[in-house]
Amino acid sequence: MIVPLSALGPGEKGIVVNIAGGHYARQRLVSMGLSPGAMVQVIESHSMGPIIFSVGGSRFAIGRGLASKVMVRKL
Amino acid sequence: MMKIVALAGNPNVGKTTIFNSLTGMRQHVGNWPGVTVEKKEGILEYRGQRFLVVDLPGTYSLTAHSVDELVARDFLLKRSADVVVHVLDATALMRNLFLTMEILEIGLDNVIVAINKIDLAEKRGIEINVKKMEEVLGVPVVFLSAKEGIGIEELKGKIYRMANGELEAKPVVPTYDPEVEREIRHITEVLSGTSLAEKYNLRWLAIKLLQRDEEVIKLVLRHLGSEKLDEIMTHISEVEERYKRAMDLIIASQKYEFIDGLMHNFVRYSHEQSETFSDQLDRVLTHPIYGLIALFGVFYLMFKFVFAFGMPLQGLLEESFSSFGVWLAPHIANETLRALLVDGVIAGVGSVLSFFPLVFLLFLAMSLLEDIGYMARAAVVMERIMRKFGLSGKSFIPLVLAFGCNVPAVMATRTLDDERDRLLTMLVNPLIPCSARLSVISFLAGAFFAERQALVAVSIYATSILLALLMAWVISRFVIKGEESPFIIELPEYLVPSWKTLLLHSWERSKEFIKKAGTIILLGSIAIWYLSTYPAPIGTGGSYAERLGRFFEPYTRLMGLDWKAAVSLLFGIIAKENVISTYGIIYGSEEAIVGIMRPLQAYVLALVTTLYVPCIATIGAIRAESSWKWAAFTVFYMIALASFVGIVVWHIGIVLGF
């Protein structure tokens, strides 16, 4: 099932399939390891704040707007 | 000529610690010419040879979006360094190797890869084979634990050998799918006829062109003309059509695939990653509600710590300066010189320098929070709140720094990667009461509102913080409009900081404060002394200061303040501490202020002092970080705001019978 990253709950994992959104944000995400094929695990996702996730051994927080543009295959 | 060693790498990999252990105390901070990114340089001595070590800004990639990335990329592209030490975090190898590949793609053959945090990686069951890694990457590899000082000597040795041509790198570069490779070949052929071939690695240019890098597109446009460039770009779009994905994504994912292939040769993960303590901690500290409670707790403790230790030290320094003045006075025969030194220089500079312990401790506490890894979490918690006012969560850090001093806080906006966020944060920054204004607030609150001292001080802080947020909202709505930037921040590993780095860092930041006291405030104190002594002493009605005050009095009357307050505020532009010390000069003692003001006036004076015109050093910092235009804008909006608030509070106070 392919869903936006923002739809994953805490503890859920997914494989990045595609990233929509502007060139700038996309480059940022990619250089941080969030590129197609990467496995992400959501650590905290709360409707009131940014989404915390880990990818490739590092943890990041991104805004919900951006997270909804990252498409993942839910595992 | 000294050989140059550049340190490159992602943020949070421990570059600064390595820089410190390579250079010791022999380092200085300046600006890159033309841009406002800090340039840290230091000297490394090894086997009698001296090297200039340059700490490049931490970047995730060499796709230039922020000033930081542009600086790092230009430095590497121009081959300005004799040796490039690329620092990687062993616990996040995959992502860090992405930057490695970008650096190697430039065509550099003088790269040493330094894998830091190797001890942490071992604990997590990540085994790296150094021999295999060197073989596969084709570059020398050093294992480090910068914090423990492991591997530093070996790194120095390799730097020495590479700088002197005894060590070579034959780096591997990523290969992509045949279709992408065909594009790269095609573009390289087109470019090979131009003068670009002499200055750049054409494969690198081709890859950047495929990624639609703006700077590279402009560069190629100049050398090829729009017709040929268009032809290339159309080609790229066709490939994107076939892949159904943007080219920069195609290249990135193939680069990661390539890295994944390499890593199989030299990395073993011995056990599955389970949920770490950090994950659990993050769940609490970034939670919208618990996180906010934790944040208030942390900052309450921080201020508590700073004042508990800083205030007594400040009192001590203040006393020492005044006793020094008293001791010095009889030793100087010339009356004018004595007055200048004792009443002007020592009183003025001393009152500012006595705040140094407070400022230093505040920066120490904040550097500690940063190095532990907490500041990034605070930014996450504040993101939602700050966003409502047009700011980014990342703006929170420079705004907190402003409580110490606005000058380094304005400079700290450099950490914001979005230009609009950066400008906005800079413009509202001076509204946050710095420790200089704290001295004015606490003096007036203590003298006039003995019992309600704390309440008065808090009300002034709350007003200025609220106004800072409100102004951020107004400015982002009406002055610097534009799209909101996406929020992306790395949450670094929680770490026990190294004391040496911590002290160095706090010292670097608070140094500005001493510099300010030694230059602007010294000159200002002399000016104040001169204006209030000539042509006739103050109090007699003849001094320049009094005439200036009388000139502005009709205006300050609107907020219930007389000519003495007008003079004080005028001198306060140099440094806010002057607002009170001017009364000292006018009356001979600061305490004399109590007899001539009513509490309401004192309250308005404290409020206006907090809100009007940033001090000269802050104005200078805003100009240096943006432009004269924005510095002037800040001065004008703050005068208008302070006048408005002052007049309103004064009149409401009168009506209420205070």
Residues of chain B with C-beta less than 8 angstroms from the C-beta of A61: 286, 376, 379-380, 383, 487-489, 491
* Domain boundaries of chain A, sorted by first residue: 2-74
Which sign does the torsion angle of CA B296, B298, B304, B307 carry?
negative
Instruction: Please report the residues numbered 181 through 220 in chain B whose beta carbons come closer than 8 angstroms to any beta carbon of chain A.
Output: 211-212
| Whether the Cβ atoms of residue B544 and residue B531 lie closer than 8 Å to each other | yes
Structure tokens at B600: 């309401």
- The whole-number pLDDT of residue B492 equals 86
Tens of pLDDT, residue by residue over B391-428, are 988 899 889 888 888 888 888 887 777 788 889 999 99
Residue B461 has pLDDT above 80, yes or no: yes
| Whether the Cβ atoms of residue B343 and residue B529 lie closer than 8 Å to each other | yes
Give percent above pLDDT 70 in chain B.
97
CATH code assigned to B3-163: 3.40.50.300
Candidate ranges B237-246, B284-293, B348-357, B404-413; pick with highest mean pLDDT: B284-293
Closest CA to B617 of B466, B484, B360, B434: B434
pTM of the model: 0.81
Mean pLDDT of B223-247: 87
Lowest mean pLDDT among A61-65, B272-276, B298-302, B476-480: B272-276
Cα Rg for chain B, rounded, in angstroms? 29
DSSP letters along B114-177, please? EEE-HHHHHHTTEEE-HHHHHHHH-S-EEE-BTTTTBTHHHHHHHHHHHHTTSS----------
Beta-carbon separation of A25 and B486 below 8 A? yes
Mean pLDDT of B478-501: 83
Residue B520 has pLDDT above 80, yes or no: no
Residue B595 has pLDDT above 70, yes or no: yes
Residue B273 has pLDDT above 70, yes or no: no
- Tokens 């290969």 correspond to B175
The whole-angstrom separation of Cα B8 and Cα B19 is 10
ipTM above 0.90, yes or no: yes
Number of other residues whose CB lies within 10 A of the CB of residue B210: 24
Looking at the complex, does the CB of residue B253 fall below 8 Å from at least one CB of chain A? yes
Residue B158 has pLDDT above 80, yes or no: yes
Mean pLDDT of B618-632: 89
Mean pLDDT of B286-297: 91
| Whether the Cβ atoms of residue B170 and residue B138 lie closer than 8 Å to each other | yes
- The number of C-alpha atoms within 13 Å of B23 and in the hemisphere containing its C-beta is 26
Residue B467 has pLDDT above 80, yes or no: yes
- The whole-number pLDDT of residue B529 equals 82
Mean pLDDT of A11-26: 87
- The whole-number pLDDT of residue B285 equals 92
b/e for B618-657, b at 16 or more Cβ within 10 A?
bbbbbbebbeeebbebbbebbeebbbebbeebbeebeeee
Looking at the complex, does the CB of residue B487 fall below 8 Å from at least one CB of chain A? yes
DSSP letters along B518-565, please? HTHHHHHHHHHHHHHHSSS-TTTT-SHHHHHHHHHHHHHHTTT--HHH
| Whether the Cβ atoms of residue B58 and residue B12 lie closer than 8 Å to each other | yes
Please give the residue that has the higher pLDDT: either B623 or B37: B623
- Tokens 């389970």 correspond to B274
Length of chain B: 658
Q: How would residue B594 be classed by pLDDT, with cut points 50, 70 and 90?
A: confident
- The whole-number pLDDT of residue B460 equals 94
Residues of chain B with C-beta less than 8 angstroms from the C-beta of A59: 278-279, 282, 490-491
Tens of pLDDT, residue by residue over B67-98, are 778 889 989 988 889 999 999 999 889 889 99
The whole-angstrom separation of Cα B347 and Cα B339 is 10
Beta-carbon separation of A36 and B253 below 8 A? yes
Tens of pLDDT, residue by residue over B24-56, are 867 777 767 666 677 889 999 999 999 999 999
**CATH topology for the A2-74 domain:** SH3 type barrels. (2.30.30)
List every span in chain B annotated with CATH 1.10.287.1770.
178-269
Beta-carbon separation of A49 and B278 below 8 A? no
Beta-carbon separation of A66 and B486 below 8 A? yes
- Residue B344 has what DSSP assignment? I
Do the strands B3-9 and B83-89 form a parallel or antiparallel pair, or are they unpaired? parallel
CATH class of the B178-269 domain in this structure: mainly alpha
- The whole-number pLDDT of residue B275 equals 65
Lowest mean pLDDT among B165-169, B320-324, B353-357: B353-357
Q: How would residue B310 be classed by pLDDT, with cut points 50, 70 and 90?
A: confident
Mean pLDDT of all residues in chain B? 87
Mean pLDDT of B9-35: 80
Sheet with A70-74: strands ordered across: A2-4, A70-74, A13-19, A39-44, A51-55, A58-62, B488-491
* Furthest CA-CA distance within chain B: 90
List every span in chain B annotated with CATH 3.40.50.300.
3-163
Please give the residue that has the higher pLDDT: either A49 or B459: B459
Give percent above pLDDT 90 in chain B.
36
